[in-house]
Every structure is written in C-alpha cells, then in structure tokens.
Structure 1
C-alpha cells in the first residue's frame, strides 16, 4: 500500500493505491484500463476481460472490493462491464503524482477468485494555472544592475503532463525580460531579469502582468499583476548559506515543535541589509503544517503531522531584503513514523458454511490486512489458535488466506469459532482480532447403522392382517435430510410369491406388519432383508436380516385318508364269519397338518352296532375283532370312529366304517341294496322317465301318422301292380340293428339290440366291469362303471347274456335299480321275439319298446 501527501489550495485529499496480484485456484492476470477524469456517472470504462463468461460472473456473485471510502467504478456483472460510479478528480485523487491510477479487486466465489484491476486516470485540462496572490509587489532599487534576478511567485496548476503549467509570459516592457527555470521536482518558476536600468525619477512605479499558460487544449492561463516600486540604491541581494536544508520531524509532534532554522545574509547595511523570510507557495499543505519566523528563519510545527498522509514535505524559502532583492533555498522535512496505527483487517470473502468433505488446504476466507505505519511498524503477523484446524497463509501483498489444515467431521465438531490475531512489529506492538463463525455443513458420509445384523421375531399363525410383528430402528450420524432414514423391503421370492405379499415395512417408523394371515402349515419361517436408506445424495444404506418364526396353532382338524367317505356310496369292509379274535378288519388312516402335539392323533370308537365285536387301536387306528364272529351277528355293522388331536383345545374328525359280516356277495347285496339314497335316485329317475314318456309319445304319434301314410301309399302301389299283372317281388328289409340308451342308463349304461332275419345268429352280451376291491352301490357311480349289451335275435334259443364280473374282493358294490332295469329288459325281449314283419310293424314295435 502506497500513500502520498501533497499541498494545494488548502484542501486535504487522501489517496490509497492497492497493488496486488491474487491467485486462488486459478491463474489471474492483471487488467488495466485508462479513462479520463471527470467522466459522468455510468460512463463506460471497459469490458471485464477475466477470461470468464457472463454466467461465471453471475454465479460467482462477482463484486468489487477496494477497502476505500470511495468506489469510483461499478461492476455490471450482468453485462460484464465496468462503469463510472462517481466523479473522478485526478487532482484530488493523486495530486501531483503521475501517472495517476487506482486499483481494486474483483472477487468471485464458488470457488473464490480474486482479480486485480488497475484504472489509470488520464488528466483533463480542467484547471488553469493560478497564483496565490492577485498581485506581486516588488521593490527594486534604481541602482539595480543589468542582469539582476527577481524571483516571481510561481503559479500552481493541479493538472499534470502537458495540461500542467508550461510557460510564463511577461507583458511587454522596456526594463525586464522573463527567464523560466525548473527545480528538481520539475516545478517551473519565473525570474525577471533586468535588462535596462530603472530610473525612479522617470518611472517611480512599473506595472507588469505575468501570465502562466498551460499546454492543454483548449489552453488555459492565469494572470497576476506585478507592481514594481523603484527604490533607491540597494545593490546587494540576500544570499542563503545553504541551497538545500534537510530536517526530520516525528509524526504526531505537538504544535510548536522546532524543525530547523534557515539563514540568509545581505551585505547591505541598514534597512537594505534587513532580510525577511517567507515560504513560497509551491505545494498545498506545507503552509498549514509549518511556519517560518520572518525575522529569524526559525521553522516550527503549527499543524498535525501524520506520516500516513504525508511522509515528506518540500518547502521553498525566500529571503528578501528591503531593497527587494531576494534569494531562494529549499528545505526538505522528512516525517518519522511511529507505531500509532493498529492493523486493520477486512474480510474480503468468507464462506460461513463449508462442506465437511472439503480437502485440507481449502480456502475458508480471504482477508486483507492494512497497517498504515511503515517499515517494522507496518510489518504484520497473522495467526489463529493452535487448537483449531486452520492455518493462515499469505497469498499476495497484504492478502491472506485462511486454510483448513485437517479434514472436517461434522459429526465430531459441527462448528468453529475462529479468532484471527493480527499483530504488527512496532514497539510496543499493536494488534487486532477478527472473529469468524464457521459452520460445517453435513455430507452424507455415514450409512445407517443397526444395533444388530440380524433380528428374530415370533408370530402366532392365523394372525389378523396388518398386525404389527416387529419394529426395527437404525441410527444415522448425519444431519437433517442425510439422517432421514427410510426402510424398504429387499425383493425376494418366497414360495413363488414376492416377499411384499407376506409382510410390509413402514418406510418411516420401521414397523413390520403382516400383509395377510400366516398359515404355519404353509410356511414355518420367513426370512427377508430390510434396507435402511438415508435421504442423502447419493443415498447410503445398510441391510439387516429379519427372521420371523411362525408359531403353530391347533387350527386344523384331523383329516381321514381311509376309508374314503363318498357322498352316496356305501363302502363295506368284508369280514368272514369265520374270522378269529383280533382279525384286522381295516385301518383308519388320518393325518393332521398341524405340528408338534397339535398333530398327535388318537383313535376312539364312538358308536358301533355291536361294541362287543370291534375295537379301535388308540394310536394306530386299526379296527380288529375282539371276539369270535358268530352267525347271530348282523351282516350290516356300522362303526363310527372319532379321531382327535392333542391340541388345546383339541380338534376331531369322525369316519363311518361299514362292515359286512358275511361269507358271500349275495348275502351282502341283500343287506346293502336298500340304501337311503335309493329314494333320491328313484325320484330323479321318475322325473327323467316322465320326460322321456312325453317325448316318446310325441314321436309315437308322429311315426304312427307316417306309417299309416306309407301304408296307404304302398297299398295304392300294389293295386297298380296287381292291375298291371306284373310279378310281385316280396320286400324284405335289410338287417336291422339299433342302439338306444334308455333314460335309466343315460351316460354309460347302454345295450344293443341286434335284430336279424337269421335268428340263429342272434345273441346277447353284457359288459364286464373292471376288477376292483370294492363294489360301489351308488346308481350314479354305477352309471359310469357298469354297462351291459343285449343282443336279441328272432330265435330266442340262440340268445345269450353275460354279466360283468366284479372284482374278487371282500367288498361288494351294487346298484339298487339294476334289478328293475333287468326286468324291463326282459319284458322288451318278448316283444323282439316275434317273426319277421314289415318295416312299419317293426318300427311300431320299436317305438312301443322305447315307450
């Protein structure tokens, strides 16, 4: 940081130049602009050429930081241009310093970037040269020799370069010519040289004009009147003993502090040798800060001295005698700095929230430290508490980066209170502190954690759908959304069905519910995986295995596998009358799909026709005789066996066992044909017979009409043949065969009547049943099993019949209606045993047979 002081027109200005090049995560070049002073507000300065597009300027929230009270430019981030923000006065900003410029930084965030911009202010000729006084009074002795020099008051033009003071012009006269010289600082001043002696008697006063002209366009000028009083002879001018004086002063010196004394001598005597000292108005603030005793030449402090404003003063001292002769000298006063300014910390950029996954060395903040003092007093040291995981690193002049030193872990430390201490090297040192509060934002770096990798739960079967089975819970060390856990079922098939058809899990609470009622007999254990997933991006998850054990209930009664209980059938077990004690009649076989003691079965004889004849094994269900079978025992024995499980409460099933005590099948048939089901069967049969009678009656009447019509037709034909005396060929119908199912044997029972002219080849054959161990006496069942064939010829002697033979077993199955059917067949047989007849007669007989 450079500071400059100057003195002009008793006005104080301050100029602060920041010169730095900042590098944060990218290489940035310095940008320079040149603009003339006094431009209007919002005037265009230049495009922001940072190698970035407009989107980066907007997303990075580009802004200007300068640390100064005046912000001369404004950044239009949406357009990418710089414009004038307020009036720029080069003379106020830089004074006599050339070239004049000011600097600022453009800072962007995410990531942080800092770019230095320097704007050079071009001078405009907006000031004319000006003299301090409106008139210059000179007293020149008439005895002044030709070539005598008379220093004139210098004009001051705040503009610089060609716009500054360029030339002095003296109004035309006969006595003086103007000579221009420049001192080491480049300041021009004018000296009048006497080229023709003055004659007080002729011209006691000489009036001239001195014009100061600058080099601007348009050119400006300033004028001062010179009034010369011609004195008597004073032929010696004052002479300083040094052409240059040097002195020092400590800043903040109190008023009246002695600086130095200048001295000039005049060889004249009397009033012509008296010398008066004064400051020539060369720079702005000198006359406000120091004063010189006009008689002694002693220079003292009369104003505030601030090193940070002005580090050096250059003053031109004039020594003039009474005769108007003068001499000039220069004094340079250097200001000694003291450590009177503490460091000033400006936070240029700070992210109060930073992600915990940033790597070490990430820039947390960028701050600028200024100390207006110089040398050691302005040398600063920045530090942070050693217990904090941060470090300070210098990036550019007066700019520092606060960097992370270790990885962050929000779950351990969620925020940091950072204290940055800045101390200078003065004596005594001065320091300041800056406080930052940094919060660590969460990153989804912790997966949900279960207390156990596997959980077991129990549920009794036949539960209500939707009942809560178990609750799981996972913990996530992250924060907010990253710690918001949802629970999901992992896809899995159980017995061909998705696991979601068995159980469900509440995504928020982790409560596991049964989707439907469980059946222990179908599934005894259910194992599945629940995933706990947080709400981070990307989400993290962990799994836990859940085992649900189904507990059995006694919800299934025993099921009897044997003997099979048919609807209308009568199942009989054959027991010969010669059976001994302990004869195994049959065995009741039952199962229980429950498990454990719920499936332990016991068999008991509940009812029996003769309890003294049979017993049932308690454990094995075997039915055995407990005494010798006698002839007095009833053929038909009915046993009711109850099967019970060992559940609480117990469940049971009953089975009826029919036992036939007989040595032959006819004896069995006589007892089992009158079944309770016969009545139902006969009722059904009667309905079908009535229906068939109606149909056949209709067909009979129709056929009768047809037969009569045919008969009449043939009679007429025969009459025609008879009258024509042609030989008559008797008509014999072809072999006739018909197959007709009766209403009593609709589906399976059928018989075939084969009627032939040759009765010797007629026959009857009944179907043979399959060989079985038991015979079912249900007419409906019999329809599907039994069939017989009737073959009837004209010769009844050749007819034969054959019945199906039942399997040779102990069980016999009969149909109660079979005898009636056979009787009907027998009656139909008599009708068919007639001599050959015409077709009409046979058709009639056939209809009568069907009827």
Structure 2
C-alpha cells in the first residue's frame, strides 16, 4: 500500500503545485504558508512578492535572501519571480516527530533600505507510514482462573504520522473469549486493551491465536497487524497492582547517564511463586530511542541515553507489572525535563557586507545580526554587546534581531579597518556567552587633496642643455587610496617672454619629473618660474599647486665680438701713424664685447701676428694698440696687425681682428698702396669663382652624354646577342628603315628588309617585297646578293654615332682645360686624363683616339 501511495503522489505532483492551499497572513509583516511534506524539489510554495506587496524590482535591487538555519535549507527564494520553492524533500516526521502543527520559520531580508519579513511554513502530514507494532507476535499467558472482565494491555502500534493520518483504531479478529477496548492517552495517542469476556478452560483449549489490527485514518488507509498467542495457565487468582495509577517525576536535562530518575512498585496478593512481580515498558518499539530503562525486578527507572529539553520536554511511559503466571497490572510514568542553561547563544550575520564608506552619517546600519538561544525562559533571553571603544553601537530590532550602527563619523585616513567583537550573553545561571569577530573595512572617498613634499621647488640647469633632459622632480602625496590617491601632475599655463611655458618645460603626468623641452640660452632668458598642479583621480578631483623656479646657468658659448675696428669685405680700413710718432703713440683701440656673463665675459687682448712685431704692442686689458719704439723711415708703409681677443671661460673662446696700419705722413701715399692690394685680391677671387662654375657645368654635360652613349651601346649589344644565340631555326632581324625623301636615291620608296639567318649553316636568304606601303618586303630566296647586303648592313650598325661622340670629345677637352686652370696640379690632371681615356676606349669612341 505504501508503494501504491508513492506512485499515486508522483502522478499528482503537477496538481500538488497548483492545489497547494496556502494560508497567507499579512499581519505585521508576517506571512504563513501551508504545504504537504514530501514535495519534490522546485515545487511552488508561495508568492512572497505578491503576498508582501513587493515589486520584483525591489527584490532584485534589495538583494533579497532568506535567513534560514544552515542545517535546514528546505526552501529557497527565486528573486526573478518572487517565489519560494522547495529546495529539498521535507520529512515532517524527521523535522517535528509527533509535534503538531509542524512548522519552521524563516526571514526575508531586503537591503537599501533594510526590511525584514517573517515567514512561517507549516508542513502538513502525508499518510506515508502505516501503523507498526514493535513485535511480530504477542505472547500472553493467562490463568484459567482469570475472571471475566480482566483487561490485558496490548503493545501499542506506532505510526509517526499525525492527525487523521496517525493511528485511529484497533480491531481484533472475532473469537469466543476476548473483546477489544480502545483508549486515548492525554497526548492523543491511542492504545488497546483486550478484555476476557468468557472464562477460559485449559482442559478444553490451552492455546488461543488472535489477530490484532491497527488502522490509521489516511487516504488511502494503511494498517498493521500483530499475532497474539494466548497460553492458558493454571489458576492464579490475583493480578499485580501498582501503588500509583500515575507516576510523575521531574528531572534536570543535564543529569548524567545511569541516574535513577524514578522507582515504581506493584503488589500481588498471591503468595509464594505466584506473588513474584516483574516490571516492563509496554508501548516501546523494537528500536525505540527512549533514553530510559526499568529494572524488571526492582522497578528502578534509570537514564541510559541523552536527554535534551529543547528536543523533547517530557516523556510518557506505560508500565506493566506481571506475576509468574502472566497476570499483569498497568500504570503510567510521566517524566518531565527541567530546562538547564546548557546552550550558548548563536550569533548569525543576517546581513553584512564588510564595508562602509567613510562619509557615512552616524546611525548608518552596518549589519543585521540574528542571535538565537535554544534554551527557554531566562536561559534563552540574550543581550548583545560590543567593545565600547569603537564608534559603533548595538540597537535592538525585531525578535532576536539586532542592528549594528555607526555612532560617530568615520575617517579612513585615521583608521581604515575595524575588528568588531560581538558578544552575546544569556540570563541563565551561570550565564553563557559566545563571541563572533567581524572585520569591517572603511572605504575611501576623495576628501583629501594632494600635498607637495615642499612648498617651493628650485633647480639649476646649465644653458645649451639637451632637449628632454630632466631638471627636477616634484612629488605630492594623497592620503586617500586607490583612484582617489592617484596623483597626476599638470603644468599650469603661463607665458614667459611672450611664449607659453609649454615651449620651455614639460611635466611627466605620472612621475612629476620636469623636463626641458628645448635648449636654453642664458643670454635670452635667465630663469623660469611656473606653477605645477597636482590633481588626484577622484570624482570630483581635488588639487593643489606649487611654484617651481629654474635658474639657468651661463656657459661660455659665445665668442667675443669685435665692435671696432669694423671688418668689412668691400673696403679696407687703415689707421694712420705719422712717421714722427713717439713711443707709446696710441694707434687705435680694439673694442670687443662678450654677451656671456661673469668670468666668461672677461676679455684679454693679444697681438698674434704683425708685419713688424717690434713696432706695436696691444694692451692686455684695454685693447689699445700703441707704438713701442720710434717710427723710422725704414718702416714699411703697410703694416698688418692680427689681434686675438680671448675670454676667461673654460674652455676659452676667442676672436681675431685684422688692423691695417699705414705709416705715412700724407693720405695720397696711403691710398695708392692699399688700393692696388685690394684690386688684385678681388680680381683673383672672382676669377677662381667663375672657373669653378664653368668646370661644374661642363662636367655635368659630359656625364650626361656618357650616359646616353652607354645606353645605346647596351641596347645594340642585346640585339646582337639575340641574333646569334637564339634557339629558333630562323631568326628575323629588322634593320632601320632608310628612305630617300627627295626621290633621288636608289630607292624611290621606303622599303622594309627582312634578313633571315639560320643558326647552323650561317647562310642567309633575303626576301624583297613590295613598296613601303607594306610592312615587310619579301625577297627572293635564290638571290645571290644576300650576304653582301647583310655585311654592308652590319658595317652600318657598327659605325659610331659621330655627332654625339664629337660632342663628348669636345666637352672632354674643355673639362681638361678647366681642371688644369683650377687645380694647377699636373698629377691630378694626368689621373683624370687616364681615367677618361679608359672610358672612351671601352665605349669604342675612336674619334677621341
């Protein structure tokens, strides 16, 4: 029958999911569902979204989840549909045993904002168990003297189902001596007694076999049977009688095994052997988990297992006293357990992310905490506390729920992590407590601007630096973290000498290194002052500025510049010294400046060369040129002095100036001397320039003509190779066309010649054809003048292009003359002549030869 029931339930699974009658109560945020046990995984339990009046989007955004005991994950929440469905098979008997109604509670937690809803799921019993007797056979020994109306207590059948599915009635197979009586205990369980309705006669029948049937009220109905074997004994007139019809004791749940919890006794008025009484528990199953046992001779009831008030607060045991002849008496023992504070509170984080932003206002919820204590009364009343030194506090919420909230403003830069120890303590004696440490990270916000390590940066750099060289590095720190602490360096726009600062320096956005964009010139700019901004990566970003000053150091990169005497290319300036000049006569003064600064601009003057070094001297510091002796008539009129001006840099730089001095008493004498000299010099310079220009032009024309000749020679050579080395039996050759344009030649029209030569016999056949209007003139193969004509054509092909070669030779001669005039070197002239002779010879330009 049990197998038929399961088969029938499986076929009706689809109907069960629809016909689940769900009783929904939406009072104070609580709902209740009722479902049968043994439902398959995935079947529908209830629509919490609809029953709670919640939108599906709210379930998803609030990260809805069920808070369930970790050991009983019977249902799960489908966020997308808002349904609670079965997660695993629910066995009502395993969950609640005989407890009815059977239910378990859970909570739905929503975040942002935090909401909590309680749900109770009641499990309805399914008739999946048949009543079963603890033994397969009951053996009774009844004295024949047993009076009618004597009651015999029978073993009760056990059915773990409840309600109508539990044991409902007993029935006894019809017989002549016994009838069945049924009774109900205080807890609703049923048991049967068999009453003797007519006297037994051992001499007529010494044994009786009866069938006892236990039936439940489920649909379909299930039943169990046991065989009762009655042995008729000789007379025993009195049955044992317990001293109390009901024994009640109270026991602490923490008593140790072996403790005697109760003692029962029964009296048999018979004497001797018939008065011996033994004690039994009658209603226990074969593999019962009853944690008690009774001594069959003394009636002591001892604890043999573990008892727990939270599992079963009381035990009801049926007692039986029996004499040696099988006459029995019955009683009942009720053992009530007293609760002991033996369970520590259990802390569960119902909602906890482990992170909180540092800008959270006081009162922000950090976590939702569930604290459970299985004890009852004061032993189950719990208080939750945390360390008082932390900026958090505990607030009591719903039943057994607490919220951890912030009490002060948080600052991640002062403290970024908190280890929060939660301590739950009950009110038992002695009190029990448990602790749980949670770790909370304070997340960063961009509340700190970058700070430079210095309030002002300065650096030195020498002028004429290489572009891109690093000058200095600025550095800023941001106490925030991650992107909020990522510092970028930005060059603030400004102008220096009318140009943007970006043309002078650049700043690496990541490292803060300042690079020189170009080479600096101290003579143009002495210093650079600009502002660098440090900006973090927060949103919105925060920033700070710092001023940077770069001083440019001077280098000796400029030679002295002579201001006087002025050096001109078109005219010659000379200083006059009369022949009557005395010693120390001031001829002139060399004036020079150096745009560098410092010692790089200190100038000294020296006389490098002079026509007569014994006549003049130059002042080392002032550049004055003076005579150092008396001028005589023997001194030359034209005096040429070379003065070198040096600075004091390392290394030093210098400039030279030529001073022309005329030793004469009259101006016409000076003019005649210096004019000849200037004109000769200019004439030679102009002549050399024009010769070089002529040589360049002639060389270019000469090379161009050579390239043309070489190209023609290569083309003809390729044609001849095709003629003599082709693998074809007949090779056509097409010479150029010749025409007598005036009509006075041997041919009146243009003719085409097709010369055919064989590769083996070297004989040729010429075909003479039609006039020039035809493309090819076909000649008679038998003509005897073929070879002579071909030879004449070959000689024509071998003749040089006379006009072009004459041009080349002419250019060659002009070029030789130019070399000779410009180079004025016989060796170079001879080398040029040999090289170009070789080129002409290789090109077969015989005109030159």
CA separation of 1:288/1:600 partners in 2, compared to 1, >3 Å: closer, same or farther? Answer: closer
Number of the residue aligned with 1:162: 164
Kept after mapping to 2: 8 A contact 1:486/1:532: yes
Matches within 5 A, 1:180-579: 180-190=182-192, 208-226=210-228, 245-254=247-256, 255-259=258-262, 261=264, 279-281=281-283, 288-291=290-293, 301-317=303-319, 330-345=332-347, 368-403=370-405, 405-413=407-415, 415-436=417-438, 445-478=447-480, 485=487, 487-506=489-508, 509-533=511-535, 541-557=543-559, 559=561, 566-569=568-571
- More divergent stretch after superposition (406-415 vs 59-68): 59-68
Kept after mapping to 2: 8 A contact 1:65/1:348: no
- More divergent stretch after superposition (216-225 vs 83-92): 83-92
Higher relative contact order (CA 8 A, sep 6+): 1
Kept after mapping to 2: 8 A contact 1:142/1:230: no
Number of the residue aligned with 1:91: 93
Matches within 5 A, 1:796-835: none
Partner SS, residue 288 of structure 1: coil
Give the unaligned 5+ runs of structure 2: 1-26, 578-585, 627-635, 691-849
Number of the residue aligned with 1:100: 102
2:126 to 98, 102, 124: 124
Partner SS, residue 557 of structure 2: coil
> Cα offset for 1:637?
11
Q: For 1:497 and 1:598, locate their aligned partners in 2 and report how far apart those are by CA, in whole Å.
A: 28
- Per-residue CA deviation, residues 420-444 of structure 1 (Å, 9 max, x unaligned), is 4443333333344444555666666
Kept after mapping to 1: 8 A contact 2:134/2:284: no
Number of the residue aligned with 2:138: 135
Length-normalised TM-score, structure 2: 0.58
CA separation of 1:264/1:496 partners in 2, compared to 1, >3 Å: closer, same or farther? Answer: farther
CA separation of 1:610/1:304 partners in 2, compared to 1, >3 Å: closer, same or farther? Answer: closer
- Per-residue CA deviation, residues 437-489 of structure 1 (Å, 9 max, x unaligned), is 55666666544322322112222322344444323333444557765655443
- Per-residue CA deviation, residues 76-97 of structure 1 (Å, 9 max, x unaligned), is 8899887766553221221111
Q: For 1:646 and 1:296, locate their aligned partners in 2 and report how far apart those are by CA, in whole Å.
A: 130
Q: For 2:169 and 2:225, locate their aligned partners in 1 and report how far apart those are by CA, in whole Å.
A: 12
- Per-residue CA deviation, residues 125-177 of structure 1 (Å, 9 max, x unaligned), is 111122334337467977536xx877655432211222222333344457776
Partner SS, residue 376 of structure 1: helix
Partner SS, residue 290 of structure 2: helix
- Per-residue CA deviation, residues 379-431 of structure 1 (Å, 9 max, x unaligned), is 33333333444444454544555555545555444545554444333333334
Kept after mapping to 2: 8 A contact 1:487/1:506: yes
Matches within 5 A, 1:412-811: 412-413=414-415, 415-436=417-438, 445-478=447-480, 485=487, 487-506=489-508, 509-533=511-535, 541-557=543-559, 559=561, 566-569=568-571, 593-595=595-597, 676=678, 680=682
Q: For 2:70 and 2:358, locate their aligned partners in 1 and report how far apart those are by CA, in whole Å.
A: 31
Number of the residue aligned with 1:144: 148
- Per-residue CA deviation, residues 213-264 of structure 1 (Å, 9 max, x unaligned), is 2122221012234566789999999988876554311223342424365779
1:37 equivalent in alignment to 2:40: no
CA separation of 1:594/1:679 partners in 2, compared to 1, >3 Å: closer, same or farther? Answer: closer
CA separation of 1:608/1:222 partners in 2, compared to 1, >3 Å: closer, same or farther? Answer: closer
Kept after mapping to 2: 8 A contact 1:66/1:105: no
Q: For 2:447 and 2:143, locate their aligned partners in 1 and report how far apart those are by CA, in whole Å.
A: 93
Q: For 2:522 and 2:133, locate their aligned partners in 1 and report how far apart those are by CA, in whole Å.
A: 116
Q: For 1:477 and 1:284, locate their aligned partners in 2 and report how far apart those are by CA, in whole Å.
A: 74
> Cα offset for 1:561?
6.8
Q: For 1:573 and 1:55, locate their aligned partners in 2 and report how far apart those are by CA, in whole Å.
A: 106
Larger of the two Rg values belongs to structure: 1
Kept after mapping to 1: 8 A contact 2:488/2:535: yes
Length-normalised TM-score, structure 1: 0.58
Partner SS, residue 253 of structure 1: coil
Q: For 1:274 and 1:64, locate their aligned partners in 2 and report how far apart those are by CA, in whole Å.
A: 60
Number of the residue aligned with 2:786: none
CA separation of 1:303/1:572 partners in 2, compared to 1, >3 Å: closer, same or farther? Answer: closer
- More divergent stretch after superposition (509-518 vs 356-365): 356-365
Q: For 1:198 and 1:409, locate their aligned partners in 2 and report how far apart those are by CA, in whole Å.
A: 95
Please, what is the CA RMSD of the aligned residues? 6.4
> Cα offset for 1:519?
0.5
Kept after mapping to 2: 8 A contact 1:142/1:232: no
- Per-residue CA deviation, residues 595-634 of structure 1 (Å, 9 max, x unaligned), is 56766889999999999xx99999999999xxxxxxxxx9
Give the unaligned 5+ runs of structure 1: 1-26, 576-583, 625-633, 689-851
Kept after mapping to 2: 8 A contact 1:641/1:656: yes
Q: For 2:353 and 2:58, locate their aligned partners in 1 and report how far apart those are by CA, in whole Å.
A: 20
CA separation of 1:594/1:61 partners in 2, compared to 1, >3 Å: closer, same or farther? Answer: farther
Partner SS, residue 310 of structure 1: coil
Partner SS, residue 157 of structure 1: coil
